[in-house]
Amino acid sequence: MPDELQAAFAAALCDPDRPPPAPVRSSGKRRFDVYRNNRAVGLIDVLADIFPVVQRLVGEAFFRAAARIFIDTEPPRDPVLLIYGAGFGDFLDDFEPAATVPYLGDVARLEWARRNAYHGPDAHSVTIDVLADFPADRLGQAQLTLLPTLHLIRSRFPVGSIWAGVEGIDMTGGEDVAVLRPDMRVETTVLTPGAYGFLSALQDGATLGEAAQAAAEDSAEFDLAANLQGVFALGAVIGITDRC
């Protein structure tokens, strides 16, 4: 298929208001419409598989209608559908019919993080015992290498509890959530105060001292000892080095 015809075919496939290219119209527009519809249904099914909690929260009919609009506005740019759907959370933030469910975008971002963690690279976590071999007077200069599958989500809604289906949630408070895969299973954990700032700083390459300061500025309730133990308990650490 010539490049120009291929581009016209792809454009018509993604835009239901655009007619198929002339050679296709002459050979059967109805068959093209069936193909276009089957493609849309397939992509909607892909999104439903990635975002099951979003679908549960709004119902199948609403979800599939929203997903259809999403695939029309943001069609796949890559033949590998494994990475399709990254912008669904942002789309839901601006999707007017979902305005009564303002946390929907954050739930979608959490589910996307879980998918990324599942398909992310393997790495072996270390325990807090590694600190015993580190010079005590250099601990503030220690840099912790974190799991590549670690994703952090900050929400003004209790997104972790909503995702988990907890009943009787206080919707007035937000939650910070860590998503990671320390072994073969993806874990989703609601973080304690200051942990988000601590992990974010460590993820950006900060030393323990710098990360502790950032976390204390983020939350007055930050407890360094508890959060340091918590980072290792999560299985989030894969190594430690001294920033000389």
Q: How far apart are CA 150 and CA 203, in angstroms?
A: 9
Contact 90, 105 (CB under 8 A): yes
Nearest partner of 150 among 83, 107, 193, 195, judged by Cα: 195
Torsion sign (Cα): 23, 26, 28, 33: positive
**233 and 132 in a common domain:** yes
Any domain includes 107: no
Q: Do residues 20 and 90 share a domain?
A: yes
18 has a pLDDT exceeding 80: no
Residue 198 shares a structural domain with residue 239: yes
Q: Check whether residue 144 and residue 184 sit in a common domain.
A: yes
Q: What is the pLDDT of residue 36?
A: 63
Q: Nearest-CA neighbor of 91 among 106, 111, 113, 76?
A: 106
Q: How many domains does one find in the chain?
A: 2
- Count other C-beta atoms under 10 Å from residue 70's C-beta: 19
Q: Summarize pLDDT for 88-120 with one digit per residue, the tens.
A: 999 999 999 999 999 999 999 999 999 999 999
- Whether pLDDT at 170 is above 90: no
Tokens 């069609």 sit on residue:
75
Q: Which of 66, 39, 54, 61 is nearest to 103 (CA)?
A: 54
Which comes out higher in pLDDT, residue 172 or 222? 222
Question: Does the residue 186 lie in any domain?
Answer: yes
**Alpha carbon of residue 62 to chain centroid:** 21
3-state secondary structure 170-219: CCCCCEEEEEECCCCCCEEEECCCCHHHHHHHHHCCCCHHHHHHHHHHHC
| Residue type at position 146 | L
Taking only the tens place, the pLDDT of each residue in 33-79 is: 555 667 789 999 999 999 999 999 999 999 999 999 999 899 888 77
**Tokens 């598989």 belong to residue:** 49
Q: Which has more confidence, 81 or 21?
A: 81
Question: Could you read off the pLDDT of 134-167 as tens digits, one per residue?
Answer: 998 999 999 999 999 999 999 999 999 999 998 8
pLDDT at 153: 98
Tell me, what amino acid is at 54?
A: V
17 has pLDDT over 80: no
**What is the span of the domain harbouring residue 67?**
1-101
**Does residue 116 lie in a domain region?**
no
- Shared domain for 148 and 217, answered yes or no, is yes
Considering 101, 134, 154, which residue would you say is the last residue of a domain? 101
Q: What is the pLDDT of residue 1?
A: 44
**Is it the case that residue 125 has pLDDT exceeding 60?**
yes
- Which H or E element spans position 109? helix 104-119
Whether the per-residue pLDDT at 24 is higher than 80: the answer is no
pLDDT of res. 191: 97
Return the amino acid letter for 163. Answer: W
68 shares a domain with 130: no
Q: Which residues pair with 41 in a beta bridge?
A: none
Are 135 and 46 in the same domain?
no
Longest dimension (CA), the chain: 79
Task: For 232-244, write each residue's pLDDT tens digit.
Answer: 999 999 999 998 7
The string of DSSP letters for 19-47 reads PPPHHHHHHHHHHHHHHHHHHHHHHHHHH
Q: What angle do CA 53, 54, 57 make, to 5 degrees?
A: 85
Average pLDDT, the chain: 88
Q: Which of 69, 101, 133 is the last residue of a domain?
A: 101
Strand 187-190 to strand 151-155: parallel, antiparallel, or no bridges (unpaired)?
unpaired
